[in-house]
Amino acid sequence: MMATKMFKKILIANRGEIACRVIQTAKKLGIKTVAVYSEADKEARHVQLADEAIFIGPAPSRESYLVIDRIIQACKDTGAQAVHPGYGFLSENEQFAKRCEDEGIVFIGPKYQSIAAMGDKIASKKLAIEAKVNTIPGHNAAIATTEEAVKIAQGIGYPVMIKASAGGGGKGLRVASNDKEAAEGFAACKTEAMNSFGDDRIFIEKFVEGPRHIEIQVLGDSHGNVVYLNERDCSIQRRHQKVIEEAPSPFIDPATRKAMGEQAVALAKAVNYQSAGTVEFVVGKDKSFYFLEMNTRLQVEHPVTESITGLDLVEQMIRVAAGEKLAFKQEDVKLDGWSMECRINADDPFRNFLPSIGRLVKYRPPESINGVRVDTGVYEGGEIPMYYDSMIAKLIVHGKDRSEAIHKMRAALNDFVIRGIHSNIPFQAALLQHPRFISGDFTTGFIAEEYPEGFKKDSVQPADPKRMAALAAFMRYRYLEHIKMIDGQLAGHEMVIAKKFVVVTGAQVGSMKDPYEVPIRVELKDSIYSIYIEEPDAISRYDIVSDWRPGQICLNATINGTQKVTAQVERRGVKFLLVLDGAHYECMVLSPLGAELQRRMPVKIPPDTSKLVISPMPGLLTKMAVKVGDIVTGGQKLASIEAMKMENTISAIQDGVVAEVCAKEGESLAVDQLILRFK
């Protein structure tokens, strides 16, 4: 093995959880770290964790994290010998990698020639064909016009996939099933690609129906060694963005794994690949597989591979960049147990996953113990800015098999506390309970097929109302016990806790359409709270054991001796909110008389907003497509709002005439800000 010298200081040209992740491994290796930050990130977690931090510009990434000159200058100013690009931003920019090399700075990633060859999806497909890697039929040259795109799509045969050559992360990608979708998708992909990557070249290929998205992790060194580190199944996607990733795949058998791995290695060797990289495949029902693209960087979902192999991929990247030879061979690669990752994003699943930005009023991820790991770049009290992607954290679990991994993930999601903004945790929880997911029988179309109308509150598997009522009554009783402890009560008139309650849900609480009342009796003996639900036809008993105290946001309890439950709970005035497995249960726990009076209370009717178009998210109004007096039909585009690097289209839900335009192009919108009013 050649003698190598490890770096003393590296700069991380990124932000958020991946910057924190690289800092963690660098510290383990005794390497000093330099963070870079924009105006929006001056108090970010990665800035606090690094040994040094350098300001590089305004909040928009094109003025900070994407400015190569500023990153290079930061390396020179701090004496950083190498730069780790993370993922996104400049991680797959061959100009940046070459500039680093020209300046004598080591790029912790592949050589710029490999990035150039694989980063361009058109060129990479041609190289894959030469390396005898299976590829999908399609048009491999850049397409100039919408008319040409439609004609090519017709020639290939629908459905087709329209892709930005420099795309990634679901940006610059659309699936089209007809001429109209092809034309609209081509235009949208060009816009997104130019905004995100500065490159609007588009190509089209056949879309494999009923596909799985499976990727092979590869690792190469500068001595000609390349190995594959098993596969990851990333088929659970929403609009081509990964939601849940797992390793290994429940679909792939050892023979297919070996064949895919060997093709991935052949492609990596064809471009002299030296670092961690990922070769992505689409896999059909018959286990036929086709090359999609190669990501010449670390992937968001790399932790699941680390979990089943025992390798630190960031460490391997650093060692390879320092000139070290891989310390293991293909036959040494392990496949230990099962791992899953849920991406915890700042978006609202009940409002079509619109971005949710603001302050993290409460942020308490589950502890990283017993096969649970959290990679994050935020902290309680910090801000989620509008300028970058929506990821809050990555929740990773490892179990002895897939069933145990699912169980651990469900428990960890229940214990993940986020307040102040919305998150996609309810959506993740619902997916993990879905029979198709549990069985492993899913494709990339799973989410679209199972939630064709979007994800609604009734999409979540409802919680057992009796069990939730019992937990709410337990909470109310604990609050009363706490009140009873107040000093100075008049002798002989001390507070006596009632035994009978009524749990009220439904329209009177604002949580459900139909009212539901549960009569309850509570008995306490030997620290066991016995909750009796006394209905006319039967009496149900729930024996609850818990050390929960009022004010705690997580309620850990054992019910009837065997059922272990973790629910997130809040008291909001006279109401109690419980969240379990993504299901929300809102109620009031009243005395029998209080319940009788509550029935007589009027219900407030919400105002009519049917003639208003309001902004569903904070963002930049990039396009106003209508003006006063325009006759609008249902489905027509009204406006475009850009938020978290994604363009969101606002469409009319019904016919109407525009009476007033209340916002201007270029204006920064707040959530629920009025955009249009109809007559």
- Written as one string, the DSSP assignment of 267-336 is HHHHTT--SEEEEEEEE-TTS-EEEEEEE-S--TTHHHHHHHH---HHHHHHHHHTTPPPSS-GGG----
The yes-or-no answer on residue 293 being catalytic is yes
The domain defined by 9-108 folds into: Rossmann fold (3.40.50)
Q: What is the pLDDT of residues 371-419, one digit of tens each?
A: 999 999 999 999 898 888 889 999 999 999 999 999 999 999 999 999 9
Q: Which helix (H) or strand (E) holds 347?
A: strand 347-348
Low-confidence ranges of the chain (pLDDT < 70): 1-4, 169, 507-515, 603, 645
Cβ within 8 Å of residue 200, ≥6 positions away? 164, 190, 191, 193, 194
Note whether 199 and 394 are within 8 A (CB): no
Question: What is the pLDDT at residue 2?
Answer: 42
Question: What is the pLDDT at residue 1?
Answer: 37
* End-to-end CA gap in the chain: 77
Angle, helices 313-321/302-309, rounded to nearest 10 degrees: 90
Instruction: Kindly calculate the radius of gyration of the chain based on its CA atoms and give it in whole angstroms.
Output: 28
Considering the chain, tell me which residue range(s) the CATH 2.40.50.100 domain(s) occupy: 612-678
DSSP symbol at 135: B
Question: What is the pLDDT at residue 361?
Answer: 94
What per-residue string of b and e applies to 477-493 under the rule 16 or more CB within 10 Å gives b?
Answer: bbbbeeeeeeeeeeeee
465-485+495-599: CATH class: alpha beta
Say which residue the tokens 């003393």 belong to.
8
Note whether 119 and 166 are within 8 A (CB): yes
Considering the chain, tell me which residue range(s) the CATH 3.30.470.20 domain(s) occupy: 122-136+212-336, 343-453
Say which residue the tokens 């931003």 belong to.
89
Q: Where are the alpha helices (DSSP H) in 199-238?
A: none
Angle, vertex CA 421, rays to CA 419 and CA 426, nearest 5: 80
> What residues pair up with 618 in beta bridges, in sequence order?
none
DSSP string of 175-202? EESSHHHHHHHHHHHHHHHHHHHS---E
User: Three-state DSSP class for 437?
Assistant: helix
Considering the chain, tell me which residue range(s) the CATH 3.30.700.30 domain(s) occupy: 465-485+495-599
* pTM value surpassing 0.75: yes
Strands 372-376 and 391-399: what pairing?
antiparallel
Q: Please choose, from the candidates 423, 359, 362, 366, the residue with its C-alpha nearest in 3D space to the C-alpha of residue 390.
A: 423
Note whether 648 and 641 are within 8 A (CB): yes
> What residues pair up with 86 in beta bridges, in sequence order?
none
Considering the chain, tell me which residue range(s) the CATH 3.40.50.20 domain(s) occupy: 9-108
C-alpha 640/C-alpha 618 separation (Å) is 12
C-alpha 71/C-alpha 240 separation (Å) is 30
For 482-636, where are the E strands, in sequence order? 500-505, 516-525, 528-534, 539-545, 554-559, 563-572, 575-580, 583-590, 612-614, 619-624, 631-632
Q: Which CATH architecture has domain 343-453?
A: 2-Layer Sandwich (3.30)
DSSP symbol at 453: T
User: Three-state DSSP class for 448?
Assistant: helix
Catalytic residue among 92, 293, 324, 517: 293
The domain defined by 612-678 folds into: OB fold (Dihydrolipoamide Acetyltransferase, E2P) (2.40.50)
C-alpha 208/C-alpha 585 separation (Å) is 41
C-alpha 65/C-alpha 90 separation (Å) is 8
> What residues pair up with 237 in beta bridges, in sequence order?
242
C-alpha distance from residue 151 to each of 140, 157, 158, 288, 531 (Å):
14, 10, 11, 28, 68
Say which residue the tokens 């270029």 belong to.
666
The domain defined by 122-136+212-336 folds into: D-amino Acid Aminotransferase; Chain A, domain 1 (3.30.470)
**138-206, superfamily in CATH?**
ATP-grasp fold, A domain (3.30.1490.20)
Say which residue the tokens 């994290």 belong to.
65
